[in-house]
Amino acid sequence: MIQETPAGIEAQATVFREVFEHLRGEIGRVFVGQRSLVDHLLLCFFCQGHALIEGAPGLGKTVLVRTLGEALNLSFSRIQCTPDLMPADVTGTNLLAETPQGLREFSFRRGPIFANVVLADEINRATPRTQAAFLEALQERHVTVFGVTHPIEEPFAVFATQNPIEMEGTYPLPEAQLDRFFFKLTVETPSMADLAEILARTTGTDAVRVSARHGGATVRSMTDVVKQVAVSQPALDRVLRIIRATHPGAEEAPPIVRKYVQYGASPRAAQAMILAGKALALLDGRYHVAADDVARVALPALNHRIIRNFHGEMEQVSTAAIVDGIVAAAGGRA
Amino acid sequence: MTRRAGIHSADTAGEGVLRAVSAARRRLRFVNTLRLVAIAGPSGVAAGAACALAGWMPDWTPIVAGVLGAAAATAWGAARTPSPATVARILDAHLELKDRVSAALQLRERGGPIAALVARDAMARLAGIKLRTLFPVTIDRAPAIATAAAVAMSAWLVVSDTDAVGSVGGTTSASNSASTDTSTPARGAARTSAAGSNDQTTDQRSVATAREPRQSGSDSQPAREESLASDAGASIRTPAAAGDTSGAAASGARDSDNRSTPSSAAATARTGGGGSAAGQTPTGGVAAGAGGAAPGNAPLDAARDARGHTAIQAFAASYHAARAAAEAALARDVIPPDYREHVRAYFSAVSPGTGPVTSNGGPR
């Protein structure tokens, strides 16, 4: 619901901050540490984007996404991707059913994609055909089966995970599909203190129960208020410079991009940075995006959209280092 | 009602932001202009003083150059006033407002509830900000360097003039104000041409001891073997060394004569007209001629050396070289012996510190 008065927008912004803090706290009860990862995941969710979460097994990727759904009292489904997973297993299919009148007809049985929060676990283990089944759902937010389009209820977010160390028998996501993810987040190995906390929480008898609040309507209104935030000209200029700087052939490209990057970011990256910047601005109590907001979300927005060339891969230049160089060249700290 | 109130507050806050930006813009223009003036004014003074020291420009050049520099800086500063958007960005950067002022200014014309919120947020941050504190008038490196250069060049110019006065005054018993006119050749020439009356300067009183009784005009007194220096445009030779004359009039003559190099010592110096004898040399020569214009001072001024010293030093410095050259010439067989002695006597007579000369112009 779009508010037309400053007081209405202020009220919504206050609720937004409360919901965000609630989610941050609830997730923090289950998922130890990694504050930046949690914040980026929530930003992505309130911008109604999809995230690709990459990390080694056992780091809590599934727990993180599941807790998000539970804390917001939203429907949650998990798809464990395997090579024999079929598209119909994701989207659903038509089943022949008998009506009360004794007639037989096809009825659509919804797949696990029809949920508010979807976890596609190890998406790179699914075949390209099944991965493509996600494309329409991710981008169009509806599913078409046998010529019939079935819309997916909002809020809708897909969080796909992938394991970077077990590449055998996997099907790496193509660039076109990667670009559909709002953010790519990396789960780091926990620190000593975090690891001790994880052990203390998970090996005892106390079971953590997440407090569920709000719901889909609240999330939808949060999404609306995020979109209402204005973008200042310096922030817009910063985004444009960043996007241009990702392309090795552009004048704005820094040396590290010219040397190690094959393809730069698409306009979707700019959209992601602006939208996430809006959510960050609301969290900061502002109603406009500042240039610093954009710089803060540059790494998750560009992480999967910058394709390194042969030299970059051979010299193991990280995408984070490239993004740092891009943001610095565009006039701001990363 | 709420919406109308919101729109009204948006307009108010938007106008407030605009006023704040305008005030900051004026302050920035003032500070920037002041800084430019602080650079250009002293730079003009320094450049003018340098030109005056080099003798290319008159004494008042530093003042005029400084004023012109300041005026140009003022005009430049007014023309280069930053735009409101730029001022907003400067405010955001100085106050770390995260583009609040820029966004408020940008959204002011668009209106709407978000614009009102942004403007109100910006105004809340700008409240209580003192522009004088935010943009203080400070002297940074460039104006300091320009001012130091101006002070140094001006001091050099003043000291140079004082040196000229001191050097002349130290060798003459009665220095006069005209000595200050001789600090540079150009300035000396300008002053010479400007001084046309008898009562203006005493350096226009040219008196020379008469080594050669070549008298001109009707004032010749051959019985006393005196040489009367110029009276009403008389033409005299001026090989006299410093100290040969005494008296006030003689000091004036020395001021003029001592600018002569050995080569110019034999030259005829035209001295001013109308005057009377005012002193007598120890040798009986009459130092005469007071007042009158000195249109012939330009070649004398040319005897000044590169550091601006008067010809007293130049003559003393070059005397020995000239005498050595003369001795070398005398060593040749082609010079008749009688002439050799005459030349040696001449150099002995004009040697610095040597006074007595014979009535016929040669040494005793």
The beta-carbon neighbor of A232 closest among B10, B102, B117 is B102
Q: Which residues of chain A have pLDDT under 50?
A: 334
Report the residue of chain B nearest A232, measured CA to CA. B103
* Residue B262 reports pLDDT greater than 50: no
Contact B113 A232 (CB under 8 A): no
Mean pLDDT score of chain B, rounded to an integer?
Answer: 64
Does residue B201 sit in the same domain as residue B346? yes
B180 versus B164: the higher-pLDDT residue is B164
Dist. CA A3–CA A9, nearest whole Å: 6
- Per-residue model confidence (pLDDT) at position B307: 53
Contact A6 B99 (CB under 8 A): no
- Per-residue model confidence (pLDDT) at position A302: 94
Q: Assess contact for B14 and B119: CB atoms under 8 A.
A: yes
Does residue B200 sit in the same domain as residue B342? yes
Closest CA to A73 of A207, A208, A210, A221: A210
* Residue B264 reports pLDDT greater than 80: no
Taking the domain A1-204+213-228, which CATH number applies? 3.40.50.300
Q: Is A101 on the interface with B (CB under 8 A)?
A: no
Residue A185 carries which DSSP code? E
> A63-77, B235-249, B340-354 — which is least confidently predicted?
B235-249
Report the residue of chain A nearest B125, measured CA to CA. A286
Q: Is B99 on the interface with A (CB under 8 A)?
A: yes
Report the residue of chain A nearest B99, measured CA to CA. A290
In sequence order, the β-bridge partners of residue A162 are A54
Query: Is the domain covering A229-334 a CATH 1.10.8.80 domain?
Result: yes
Contact A232 B106 (CB under 8 A): yes
Dist. CA B330–CA A58, nearest whole Å: 113
Residues above pLDDT 70, as percent of chain B: 51
- Per-residue model confidence (pLDDT) at position B345: 85
Q: Quote the number of domains for chain B.
A: 2
Contact A234 B115 (CB under 8 A): no
The residues, ordered by sequence, that sit 6+ positions from B317 with a Cβ below 8 Å of its Cβ are B305
Report the residue of chain B nearest A292, measured CA to CA. B98
Asked whether residue B166 is assigned to any structural domain, the reply reads no
* Residue B357 reports pLDDT greater than 80: no
In sequence order, the β-bridge partners of residue B235 are B270
Dist. CA A182–CA A171, nearest whole Å: 20
The beta-carbon neighbor of A6 closest among B92, B100, B116 is B116
- Collapsing DSSP states into helix, strand and coil, what is residue B8? helix
* Residue B173 reports pLDDT greater than 80: no
The residues, ordered by sequence, that sit 6+ positions from B56 with a Cβ below 8 Å of its Cβ are B186
Does residue B149 sit in the same domain as residue B208? no
Other C-beta atoms lying within 10 Å of the C-beta of residue A82: 14
- Per-residue model confidence (pLDDT) at position B55: 82
Residues of chain A with C-beta less than 8 angstroms from the C-beta of B125: none
CA angle A298, A301, A305 (to 5 degrees): 115
Does residue B130 sit in the same domain as residue B216? no
The residues, ordered by sequence, that sit 6+ positions from B221 with a Cβ below 8 Å of its Cβ are B215, B228, B286
pLDDT tens digit sequence for B201-220: 333 333 333 333 334 433 43
Question: Which of A232, A238, A239, A296 would best serve as a mutation to test chain B binding (most B beta carbons within 10 A)?
Answer: A232
Mean pLDDT value of segment B332-356: 75
Closest CA to B106 of A290, A225, A293: A290
Locate tokens 């583009």: which residue?
B99
The beta-carbon neighbor of B3 closest among A5, A228, A293 is A5
Where are the domains positioned within chain A?
Answer: 1-204+213-228, 229-334
Asked whether residue B272 is assigned to any structural domain, the reply reads yes
Q: Is B10 on the interface with A (CB under 8 A)?
A: yes
- What is the DSSP secondary-structure string of A64-78? HHHHHHHHTT--EEE
Q: Is B6 on the interface with A (CB under 8 A)?
A: yes
Contact A292 B98 (CB under 8 A): yes
- Per-residue model confidence (pLDDT) at position A53: 93
Does residue B144 sit in the same domain as residue B203? no
- Per-residue model confidence (pLDDT) at position A334: 46
Closest CA to B330 of B347, B317, B349: B347
Asked whether residue B167 is assigned to any structural domain, the reply reads no
Does residue B234 sit in the same domain as residue B361? yes
* Residue B247 reports pLDDT greater than 60: no
Q: Give the domain extent around B241.
A: 194-364
Q: Assess contact for A228 and A2: CB atoms under 8 A.
A: yes
Residue B237 vs residues A227, A274, B182, B211, B279: alpha-carbon distances, Å: 101, 94, 21, 8, 17
The residues, ordered by sequence, that sit 6+ positions from B283 with a Cβ below 8 Å of its Cβ are B209, B244, B355, B356, B357
HSE-up of residue B129 (Cα within 13 Å, Cβ side): 22
Does residue B245 sit in the same domain as residue B308? yes
Residue A146 carries which DSSP code? T
Contact A6 B89 (CB under 8 A): no
Dist. CA B77–CA B29, nearest whole Å: 7
Does residue B127 sit in the same domain as residue B12? yes
Asked whether residue B169 is assigned to any structural domain, the reply reads no
Contact A292 B89 (CB under 8 A): no
pLDDT tens digit sequence for B5-19: 444 455 677 788 888
The beta-carbon neighbor of A287 closest among B6, B106, B118 is B118
The beta-carbon neighbor of A287 closest among B6, B102, B117 is B117
Q: Assess contact for B131 and B27: CB atoms under 8 A.
A: yes
Question: Which of A233, A282, A289, A296 would best serve as a mutation to test chain B binding (most B beta carbons within 10 A)?
Answer: A233
Run of H or E including B304:
none
**0.90 surpassed by complex ipTM:** no
Report the residue of chain A nearest B110, measured CA to CA. A230
Q: Is B19 on the interface with A (CB under 8 A)?
A: no
- Per-residue model confidence (pLDDT) at position B209: 36
Residues of chain B with C-beta less than 8 angstroms from the C-beta of A233: 85, 102-103, 106
Does residue B30 sit in the same domain as residue B110? yes
Q: Is B13 on the interface with A (CB under 8 A)?
A: no
Does residue B149 sit in the same domain as residue B209? no
B228 versus B337: the higher-pLDDT residue is B337
Q: Is B117 on the interface with A (CB under 8 A)?
A: yes
pLDDT tens digit sequence for A8-23: 899 989 999 999 998 8
Cα Rg of chain B (Å, integer): 36
Q: How far is A278 from chain B (nearest CA, A)?
A: 12
Enumerate the H helices of chain A as residue ranges: 6-30, 35-46, 61-71, 87-91, 128-140, 175-178, 192-202, 216-228, 233-245, 255-260, 267-283, 291-296, 298-302, 310-314, 319-329
Question: Which of B99, B102, B107, B123 would best serve as a mutation to test chain A binding (most A beta carbons within 10 A)?
Answer: B99
Does residue B147 sit in the same domain as residue B263? no
Asked whether residue B299 is assigned to any structural domain, the reply reads yes
Domain boundary among B104, B136, B153: B153
Closest CA to A93 of A112, A66, A111, A75: A111
Does residue B140 sit in the same domain as residue B210? no
pTM here is 0.65
Q: How far is B161 from chain A (nearest CA, A)?
A: 55
What six digits make up the tokens of B296?
């012939």
The beta-carbon neighbor of A290 closest among B99, B114, B120 is B99
Confidence of residue B312 (pLDDT cuts 50, 70, 90): low
Dist. CA B21–CA B126, nearest whole Å: 10
> B53-57, B228-232, B253-257 — which is least confidently predicted?
B228-232
What six digits make up the tokens of A77?
């489904």
Q: How far is A247 from chain B (nearest CA, A)?
A: 27
pLDDT tens digit sequence for B149-159: 888 888 888 87
The beta-carbon neighbor of B6 closest among A5, A287, A291 is A5
- Per-residue model confidence (pLDDT) at position B170: 41
- Per-residue model confidence (pLDDT) at position B207: 36
